[in-house]
Structure 1
Amino acid sequence: MADRALAGRAAVITGSNSGIGLGIAEALAGAGADLVINSFTDREEDHALARDLAARHGVEVRYVAADMSKGEDCRRLIEQAGRCDILVNNAGIQHVAPITDFPADKWDAIIAINLSSAFHTTAAALPMMRAAGWGRVVNIASAHGLTASPFKSAYVAAKHGIIGLTKVTALETAGEGITCNAICPGYVLTPIVEAQIPDQMKTHNMSREDVIAKVMLARQPSGQFATVEQMGGTAVFLCSGAADQITGTTISVDGGWTAL
């Protein structure tokens, strides 16, 4: 708790009961921000997670369930937060299939959760930020927001869209004490990525180690997964005074993937 640079700030992080979202929640709480964390479930363990974060970091933390595929739920999440100085749009899902076989309902769900939800939460949060004269919007995009891979049409389209939304938000808020930027992770070892490994092992008839090195990290020159702690540290930086003039851009945390 040495550096409490965000003490007095209130943050809402979507999709934050695991993975990158939880890593960012930990980092923002560690910097002194009060939090609203979120996912679509409403279990006792979700609320227990909020209590644990609060106890360990000495901040206020609430868990609010919201279905990020529904615009009204996204806006209600911000309203229920009551205050939003920092908005981290992290909620996301994935599905992999050729375009010709890609289920329409999967396309719709990925676009809704990975892209449209960020529009709705941002639209609801900006009036709060403007009233406060300060705000930070951090959108979790992806290396796939800057480049593409086959069989990920909906995900790539959504992440490219998030970067476009980031730029527009930055331009509309320039000079108001509000910034909007996107973090573009490469492969981060999260539950979503972990769940892909067994299928990749079957598809390629490889060991876990070979799938990680030769398939997943083949485009990540560092040969290492990024960590959720690194995502959290990047988000804290973007919320700091050092980033006051950083807006409308992307920060890649991808081990060199998009440098290729």
Structure 2
Amino acid sequence: MPKTVVVTGSTSGIGLGIARAFAADGANVMINGFGDRSQIEEIRKGLESGGGRALYHSADMTKPDEIADMMAEAAAEFGMVDILVNNAGIQHVAPVEDFPTDKWDAIIAINLTSSFHTMKAAIPAMKAKKSGRIINIASAHALVASPYKAAYVAAKHGIMGLTKSAALELAEFGITVNAICPGYVLTPLVEKQIPDTAKARGISEAEVKSDVMLRLQATKEFVSIDEVAATALFLASDAARQITGTHISIDGGWTAQ
């Protein structure tokens, strides 16, 4: 019987790459995110080429009721959520004293609190079945900090704490909870922050890429979406059943320094 996977923030970027990897492996997939509805429908249809079914839910990750509805629909359509991938995220770059309060609130809600809501919805059925995988897409910024990203760094550090606490609670129920911590992946989210970072630091966009983003990645290369997706597949596999409460860094050596 196909596994059911919910991937938040999966209409583009890392989330879409992860959804495609699980769909190609034959899973039923629920995708979520914003975008042009006709394009999203094309994405949804494409995901079904692996043999499983694919659904889309437009839940706003700042709204607990919509998150609960998304999780309930996935369970109703597919039986239960076997694998939950919390990927939804936004970013804003500014000094702390200039950081807009609404941006802080939105980043904490989407990058951190939404994962609490999805996990709260998924865990009861996982515990009853004594099986489940929760994968939180964190960041190198869950482990180290950078200037001008206070809300993002705070949220990602929070995701690591949530990951560890939930893993301890669920360890005897056959459920693993882990985080993936990528370095810079050239996604739409990252590309959008390049001009903001250039403005905040007073440098060119090319310098943002070479001197800010890739400066600490020892490989001097961006991480690929496929590399993150492959790691998610591994963490969801039987081979990873004793890996829980921890993180896997895919950061080109960033956090080794």
Give the TM-score taking structure 1 as reference length: 0.92
8 A Cα contact 1:41 1:65, kept in partner: no
**Of residues 35, 38, 63 in structure 1, which corresponds to 2:29?**
35
Paired residues, what number?
Answer: 252
**Cα offsets for 1:33-72 (capped at 9, x unmatched):** 11000014571221221111112x2211111110001112
Q: CA deviation at 1:198?
A: 3.8
> Letter of the aligned partner of 1:180 in structure 2?
V
Residue of structure 1 in register with 2:11 after alignment: 17
Please say if 1:108 is aligned against 2:93. Answer: no
**Of residues 195, 203, 206 in structure 1, which corresponds to 2:204?**
206
> Letter of the aligned partner of 2:142 in structure 1?
G
8 A Cα contact 2:181 2:250, kept in partner: yes
Structure 1 residues 201, 161: closer, same or farther in 2, change over 3 A? closer
> Letter of the aligned partner of 2:58 in structure 1?
A
Q: Name stretches of at least 5 consecutive residues in structure 2 with no aligned partner.
A: none
SS at structure 2 position matched to 1:69: coil
Please say if 1:256 is aligned against 2:229. Answer: no
Please say if 1:53 is aligned against 2:47. Answer: yes
> Letter of the aligned partner of 2:59 in structure 1?
A
> Letter of the aligned partner of 2:161 in structure 1?
G
8 A Cα contact 2:91 2:193, kept in partner: no
Q: How does 1:101-250 map to 2 (within 5 A)?
A: 101-200=98-197, 204-206=202-204, 208=206, 210-250=207-247
8 A Cα contact 1:47 1:62, kept in partner: no
Residue of structure 1 in register with 2:71 after alignment: 78
8 A Cα contact 1:189 1:225, kept in partner: yes
Q: CA deviation at 1:190?
A: 0.5
8 A Cα contact 1:110 1:155, kept in partner: yes
**Cα offsets for 1:104-142 (capped at 9, x unmatched):** 111100000000000000000001212322100000111
8 A Cα contact 1:40 1:68, kept in partner: no
State, as a whole percentage, how many aligned pairs show the same letter: 57
Give the TM-score taking structure 2 as reference length: 0.94
Q: Name stretches of at least 5 consecutive residues in structure 1 with no aligned partner.
A: 1-6
Structure 1 residues 154, 87: closer, same or farther in 2, change over 3 A? same
Q: CA deviation at 1:84?
A: 0.5
Structure 1 residues 199, 94: closer, same or farther in 2, change over 3 A? closer
SS at structure 1 position matched to 2:229: helix
Taking only aligned residues, the RMSD between alpha carbons, in angstroms, comes to: 1.5
Whole-Å separation in 1 of the counterparts to 2:158 and 2:205? 35
Whole-Å separation in 1 of the counterparts to 2:255 and 2:27? 32
